[in-house]
């Protein structure tokens, strides 16, 4: 039996710069791996079987873990997913699970096949989870450039019941943003998320929570990915924990920035 942690991500910034001929969108984003994680357990089996402690998560061919195992040609393993990363929260849980599966099965079965092309076939976020750390990304999100590590700011994640599908979020966009280039992201004033405008129009409470995080002392606050998680970064643990107490009626999680080469 092998257990691995499958870490979530946030986006410090996310700009959608255009639509591609292949139907995907071009992005400019800064990814950050964080300590919130699912746990994947791999055991020997005579067939491929995926289970999950969250019964709302499909465990058939719709699950990226199943797709990752099949893409590697592995059909003799049982994989159990213990979920903490909410689905549809903009934290990349499914993509992280897929990357963790690719890396773990590749080691277990001594596979030599390059993982990056498979990761991209599974999803635009999956290649980042093979790299981890802090990264500037363009293309669909797969052109990864490591950048200086983010400060170790304690994070507070506000996790609403509302969920936003990625496809729905892209359909709601009304404009594209010009790319700024990697150098611009040395300055947090350039951090933005193009999905906030349409998602906040649909769910005004999310905008209120972002504003509340700033009022409670966050140095930075934003929606992660295509939503719906709202993230605040604080100067210290005490101010972060004090802010958490101001959200008694909604699920919250504390997390840390993961530095170095930590991966899914």
Instruction: List active site positions.
Output: 9, 125
By C-alpha distance, which of 226, 2, 7, 29 is closest to 135? 29
Euclidean distance between CA atoms 73 and 118, whole angstroms: 12
Classify residue 246 by its DSSP letter: T
- Provide DSSP, 29-54: EEEEEEEEEEEEEEEE-SS-EEEESS
**H or E stretch including 209?**
helix 204-215
**H or E stretch including 240?**
helix 237-244
Classify residue 223 by its DSSP letter: E
Give the pairing of strands 25-44 and 143-146.
unpaired
């Amino acid at each position: 039996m092998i257990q691995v942690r499958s870490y979530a991500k946030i986006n410090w910034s996310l700009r959608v710069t255009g639509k591609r001929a292949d139907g995907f969108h071009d992005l400019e984003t800064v990814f950050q791996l964080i300590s919130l994680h699912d746990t994947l357990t791999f055991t020997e089996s005579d067939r491929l079987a995926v289970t999950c402690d969250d019964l709302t998560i499909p465990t058939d061919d719709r699950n990226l873990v199943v797709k990752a195992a099949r893409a590697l040609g592995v059909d003799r393993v049982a994989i159990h997913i213990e979920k903490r990363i909410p689905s549809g929260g903009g934290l990349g849980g499914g993509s992280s699970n897929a990357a963790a599966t690719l890396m773990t099965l590749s080691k277990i079965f001594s596979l030599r096949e390059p993982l990056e092309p498979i990761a991209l076939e599974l999803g635009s976020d999956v290649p980042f989870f093979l790299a981890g750390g802090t990264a500037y990304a363009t293309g669909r999100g797969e052109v990864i450039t490591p950048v200086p590590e983010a400060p170790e700011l304690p994070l507070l994640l506000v996790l609403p019941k509302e969920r936003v599908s990625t496809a729905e979020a892209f359909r709601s966009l009304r404009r594209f943003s010009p790319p700024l280039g990697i150098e611009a992201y040395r300055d947090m004033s350039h951090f933005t998320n193009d999905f906030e405008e349409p998602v906040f129009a649909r769910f005004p409470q999310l905008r209120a929570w972002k504003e509340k995080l700033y009022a409670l002392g966050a140095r930075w606050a934003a929606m992660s990915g295509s939503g719906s998680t709202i993230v605040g970064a604080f100067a210290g643990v005490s101010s972060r924990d004090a802010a958490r107490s101001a959200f008694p009626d909604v699920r919250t999680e504390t997390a840390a920035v993961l530095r170095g080469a930590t991966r899914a």
